[in-house]
Amino acid sequence: MAEKNNNFVGYEYRDVTVPGDMESVYTDGYSNFGWILDKKDSSGLSLAKLKFKRDRQIPHKSELTGFQHQFDKSAREIVNLENSKGTGASRAALTIGFIGTVFMALSVWIYREKRIRQIHNAENGLRSYQFHCGRS
């Protein structure tokens, strides 16, 4: 008769793609929820793919899963806040640059219009002078 193997451990797996600078945060955070880092792929410069595994029969799994969702939400918020640091400054710089460009274009247009009027008036004055002097 065949003996049963009671040493078998069934694992569940999870793949997580994270920014490279948050890799250690996710590794440390997930270890608190029973996950063991199985494989790490940091081939990309900005993203890292982490592969975790944990025992399917872990005690208090539902509570751990709830805490894990809170951790994921908080980590995403941290990433969004880090990304938004430069976003506001970029918007302000682009807005100021656009307004400056509009003012420059208006000043060139106004100068051009004044110059055209000056030339036109000078030509009219020359014609008037020539008319009064008897030159045609």
What are the tens digits of pLDDT across the range 99-120? 999 999 999 998 888 888 888 7
* Contacts (Cβ under 8 Å, ≥6 apart) of 25: 18, 75, 78
Tell which wins on pLDDT, 86 or 105.
Answer: 105
Q: What pTM, to 2 d.p., does this model score?
A: 0.61
Domain ranges (residues) in the chain? 8-63, 89-136
Q: Is 51 exposed, middle or buried (0-12, 13-18, 19+ CB in 10 A)?
A: middle
CB under 8 A, 24+ apart: contacts of 83-88: none
pLDDT digits (tens, 9 = 90+) for 3-60: 566 778 889 999 999 988 899 999 999 999 999 999 988 776 788 999 999 998 899 8
